[in-house]
Amino acid sequence: MPIGRIAESGVLVAECAFGTQPQARHVPRRNRIISGLSLAVVVVEAALRSGSLITARFAAEQGRDVFAVPGFPRDPRAQGCNELIRNGATLIQGADDVLEGLRGIPFAPVRTADGPESPPVAASLPEDYDPASVRAAILERLSPTPTPVDELVRDCQFSPAVVQTVLLELELDGRVERQPGNRIVLL
């Protein structure tokens, strides 16, 4: 699909300027955006030093669910998935396992090509959600010293979904940076 059609009917999100030549070093930054826009990440096959594991790490730091398909222990292509499962990713064997794991996660309505919007399972943000006041409250609690996201959620008294949404916006704006251990620093 040409970029013009995507821009007309969807959204374009990138950290690099349009027209930038693809390079391997851009992949982690791109995958951080992809994991941030996703409800969850499913890893089907990954070696121990795989880009898929980088994406899974970003997803976990962003509060997203990580699912992994187990593999034969001696297969190098399965070692990454097996390690994810050992470290807390949800073991899945099929699509039903993913759907079960996503049950109860709030998400927006989906519009199908041949019909109206389906009703949302739950509202992803509260009705009285005021982005400016939430952003201000979060920024007030951040500093150049890393702050755990869980602590931020407790201190702000906003739902994890609201905090994660605002943190993603601030991160894309270049105002905060994620650190290892699900911590955030003000830039």
Same domain, 44 and 81: yes
Please state, in angstroms and rounded to a whole number, the distance separating the CA atoms of residues 176 and 187: 5
98 plus 59 within the same structural domain: yes
The torsion angle over the Cα atoms of residues 61, 64, 65 and 69, rounded to 10 degrees, is -70
Residues 85 and 41 in one domain: yes
Give the domain CATH number at 169: 1.10.10.10
- pLDDT, position 115: 52
Q: What pLDDT shows up at residue 105?
A: 65
Residues 50 and 98 in one domain: yes
62: exposed, middle or buried (Cβ count in 10 Å: 0-12, 13-18, 19+): buried
* Token digits of residue 165: 């949404």
pLDDT at residue 14, as a whole number: 78
CA separation for the pair 185, 177 (Å, rounded): 5
Of 83, 102, 121, the residue at which a domain comes to its end is 102
Range(s) of the domain holding residue 34: 24-102
Domains: count for the chain: 2
Name the domain boundary from 84, 102, 120.
Answer: 102
CA distance 15 to 124: 25
pTM surpassing 0.85?
Answer: no
Q: If you ran DSSP here, which 8-state letter would residue 26 be given? A: G
Mean pLDDT, contiguous 10-residue spans, the chain (187 residues): 68 78 83 87 91 90 90 92 92 85 63 49 51 88 89 82 80 83 85
What per-residue confidence (pLDDT) applies to 29?
84
In a domain? residue 169 = yes
- Same domain for 85 and 29? yes
* CATH number of the domain within which 55 lies: 3.40.50.450
Predicted confidence at residue 122, as pLDDT, reads 40
Do residues 76 and 139 both lie within one domain? no
N- to C-terminal Cα separation, the chain: 36
- pLDDT at residue 123, rounded to an integer: 37
